[in-house]
Structure 1
Amino acid sequence: MHTEVAPVGGVITAPAPRPRRRGGPLAVLVALVAVATALLLALHGQVPDVYGIGSLVESFLPWSGVLLLVLAGVAALRRSWAAVVAVAFAAGVWAWVCWPLTAPDATGAGDLVVVQHNVSDENTDPLGTAEVLLAAEPDVLTLVEVTPALDAAITAEVSDELPYRAVLGTVGIWSRYPLADVESVDFRPTGVVAQWQRGIRAVVDRPDGVDPVVYAIHAPSVRLVPRGGFTSSTRDRALGLLGDVLADDPRSVVVLGGDLNTTLLDRALAPVLREVTTPAGSFGGTFPAAVPLVRIDHVLARGAEVTGVSALGSTGSDHLPVVADVDLPDG
């Protein structure tokens, strides 16, 4: 046992505490992850879409902001200027890529208030669903995954406010105003069964001003295939064909409500977005309803402006509805 003896006339002093170490391997890791995140944000379009990975990355890209918040906290705790600068750089890239995805909330003041919803073919609460949809005071509903039972139940609930209806297959439009020129929209990819009916188109005959054509669309889902990863090829081909349909539509004012099964950052949606646009609003997720991480349900327009878009409350579906204000041109 070692005993320290003080010199005569002296005192024992405790050793000075070591200064807290700055930086270190953790700070280096934070800086590297931040730079990698910035590169992914800036170059997401270059990520190969092998097994649907590119599409998946783009769908969840805004959520990289959560990672950057964590990295910022660690960089501050480590008191590493290099890590702080790297995270700040990545945050700037995130803002450049993702901030345009924000959108004003809908106020219900548009010329045409449109509510879009995937009501789910397993919905066990059609009456509650109808109440949520009607609470937004829509002029038009575009609904998908409409079974015959849901069609009957929802129509019975909304008919006083939205007496005009057109349903084909599992998609439908309910309107405050008469519907004309109702047509099926064929964007079925080659090889898909002939019964596939996921699009409808109708002209909304408003009492004054321009009469827009309204689409209700349900794009195919992304699937997880064992040993094959995520597959989005059917959806991607369908969206390409839908872009062609919209390009060929002679109407100058087009409003599209749909579950497009992807976000607005996804390259797969580019053919559609060349024809119709919207404030992105990707931070108001619609799926899954319990924890809405992504917005895959949209209201888009051409020849009109979507001025606000918001997610509504939960229904009996695994999606949340969205409501949009659409300002129509004078006509």
Structure 2
Amino acid sequence: MSDRVKIPRIPLAPWKRRLAPWDRRPELAVPALLLGLLMLLHAQIPNIAGMGSLVENLLPWFGLYVPVLLAAALWRRSAVGVVALVLPVTVWLSLFGGLLTDKSHPGGDLTVVSHNVGAGNSDPVGTARQLAASGADLLALEELTDQARGTYEKGLAKAYPYHEVRGTVGLWSKLPLSDTRPVNVVEGDVGPLAKTKPPESAAEAADEVRALRTTVTTVHGPLAVYVAHLGSVRVMPRHGFWTDSRDFGVLALTKAIAAEPNKRVVLLGDLNGTTDDRVFHGLTSRLTSAQETAGNGFGLTWPASFPIARIDQILVRGVRPRSSWVLPETGSDHLPVAARISW
């Protein structure tokens, strides 16, 4: 019989244990490659039930999948999974990396502000006070209601001696305005939404004025200014991501700006879509985004409590954006946007 005593084996500390070898299996590489291809080829996604448009409006957020996939690859020690993430990271940076740097410059001749003040705004008096304090030379308001219009006219009268309102949109200005007229961006047939509204409501929506064009007299010459609130987009059970009303407005607005004789143009408004959305290509090929040219960050505007998309835009032609930013929250469900432009 042996007299030796067995000494229990003490396990190594976690940091001294030998790590499992890196796994070369491609399972985690597949979702990384698919993510990269989705962002790279987003324009090729068929716009069936608005799917292509929906993806493009949310395109920057697909970058959030990268750290999730990276964490999974490190946890599984998947070398192929880590390497495959080079594709989505490269594509995302090529699409949106430029928005991460501050491109603003000092100076400028005019400050312009656009704000969807919200039909359900419970504090139009406070909203008017905040907007007047912004120091804007031109102030565009969208989604004006008959009930709130007088409140904004009274609250902004001291700071803005000139203003024009057509339907639910208006422009307040420190400079003279002339040649103001409505722009038809509302489709006569309101599409599938007509089935959810009484006939008189559908007809009223079809006749509503949601855009205007005016001329601002400046010391540098005339400036054509458009104010627009394009049709809403909705996720509908039978129609998917429904954008018909907005898409009609985009085409009508693009046609009006293409025919605009003034070389200097500013478009202000709630376009109910980001500039990544394919339907805006005709518009963005003629106009430049102030946020993309002279902003800092994505400049997200909606919903105001937790913005996920920039659907409120300042687009220009013939003038140079010097800076672009988002103003603090008001009583609206949108955040106001501002830009400083120069000749």
* TM-score, normalised via structure 1 length: 0.89
How much is the aligned-residue C-alpha RMSD, in angstroms? Answer: 2.5
Residue 324 of structure 2 corresponds to residue 309 of structure 1: yes
Residue 235 of structure 2 corresponds to residue 224 of structure 1: yes
What is the match of residue 245 of structure 1? 256
With over 3 angstroms needed to count, the CA separation of the structure-2 counterparts of 1:106 and 1:159, relative to structure 1, is farther
Q: Secondary structure, in 3 states, of the residue corresponding to 1:161?
A: coil
Question: Offset at 1:188?
Answer: 2.8
**Distance (whole Å) between structure 2 residues aligned to residue 164 and residue 295 of structure 1:** 28
Corresponding residue pairs, total:
322
What is the match of residue 21 of structure 1? 20
What is the match of residue 211 of structure 1? 222
Letter in 2 for 1:286: T
With over 3 angstroms needed to count, the CA separation of the structure-2 counterparts of 1:15 and 1:148, relative to structure 1, is closer
Question: Offset at 1:130?
Answer: 1.6
Instruction: Kindly provide the CA deviation profile for residues 209-265 of structure 1, in whole angstroms up to 9, marking residues without a partner as x.
Output: 122111100111112222322111221122112111100011110001010000011
Residue 86 of structure 2 corresponds to residue 74 of structure 1: no
**How do 1:136-155 and structure 2 match up within 5 A?**
136-155=134-153
What is the match of residue 99 of structure 1? 97
Question: Offset at 1:11?
Answer: 5.2
Q: Secondary structure, in 3 states, of the residue corresponding to 2:254?
A: helix
**How do 1:46-195 and structure 2 match up within 5 A?**
46-102=44-100, 104=102, 109-192=107-190, 193=203, 194-195=206-207
Question: Which 10-residue stretch deviates more, 180-189 or 16-25?
Answer: 16-25
Question: Offset at 1:143?
Answer: 0.9
Instruction: Kindly provide the CA deviation profile for residues 277-327 of structure 1, in whole angstroms up to 9, marking residues without a partner as x.
Output: 114367221011111000000000111122322111111111111011112
Q: Secondary structure, in 3 states, of the residue corresponding to 2:66?
A: helix
Letter in 1 for 2:213: R
Question: Offset at 1:84?
Answer: 1.7
What is the match of residue 286 of structure 1? 301
**Distance (whole Å) between structure 1 residues aligned to residue 299 and residue 82 of structure 2:** 29
Letter in 2 for 1:261: N
Letter in 1 for 2:44: Q
Letter in 2 for 1:152: G
1:6–1:12 CA contact under 8 A, matched in 2: no
**Distance (whole Å) between structure 2 residues aligned to residue 83 and residue 310 of structure 1:** 38
Question: Which 10-residue stretch deviates more, 70-79 or 58-67?
Answer: 70-79
**Distance (whole Å) between structure 2 residues aligned to residue 6 and residue 64 of structure 1:** 67
2:106–2:322 CA contact under 8 A, matched in 1: no
Q: Secondary structure, in 3 states, of the residue corresponding to 1:113?
A: strand
**Distance (whole Å) between structure 1 residues aligned to residue 97 and residue 288 of structure 2:** 17
Question: Offset at 1:82?
Answer: 1.8
Question: Which 10-residue stretch deviates more, 236-245 or 293-302?
Answer: 236-245
Question: Offset at 1:10?
Answer: 7.3
With over 3 angstroms needed to count, the CA separation of the structure-2 counterparts of 1:167 and 1:7, relative to structure 1, is farther
Q: Which blocks of at least 5 consecutive residues in structure 1 are unaligned?
A: none
Question: Which 10-residue stretch deviates more, 127-136 or 251-260?
Answer: 127-136
* TM-score, normalised via structure 2 length: 0.86
Q: Secondary structure, in 3 states, of the residue corresponding to 2:207?
A: coil
What is the match of residue 297 of structure 1? 312
With over 3 angstroms needed to count, the CA separation of the structure-2 counterparts of 1:106 and 1:114, relative to structure 1, is farther
Question: Offset at 1:7?
Answer: 8.7
1:22–1:78 CA contact under 8 A, matched in 2: no
Residue 212 of structure 2 corresponds to residue 200 of structure 1: yes
1:103–1:308 CA contact under 8 A, matched in 2: no
Q: Secondary structure, in 3 states, of the residue corresponding to 1:142?
A: strand
